[in-house]
Structure 1
Amino acid sequence: MSRARGNLVEGLVTFVTGLGLWLFGGDVEVPVVTLTKVGVVMMCVGGVLVVTGLWQAARRGA
């Protein structure tokens, strides 16, 4: 698997996991963190990974 494809897959999995936490983690109480905020951070990180993977794929194709 190429580096670009790996970043795309990892980014999508991270984004979807963060989306799930953001949507359904509001009722769960964890002593240290808020799961909805963790979900937002994970979605941001996943989005950056997806953009990085797309950038790497575009540069490779050029």
Structure 2
Amino acid sequence: MNAPLPSSSLPSNSFDLQQIAASLEDKLDICMNRFKKSLNDMKASFVTPTAPIKAVEEV
């Protein structure tokens, strides 16, 4: 008796899953872009303080 239920509700479920997957991909892209930006900001901030320190060490 329960067997026909999943097959009949499958199209709407798969559509919902597609929507969920699409929104998750969008959120993931946003998160990755933010992460890359913050990573680049961190790299930039790491590069600037080390240059004077190296200069001091060489002297």
Q: Who wins on radius of gyration, i.e. which is larger?
A: 2
Q: Which has the higher helix share?
A: 2
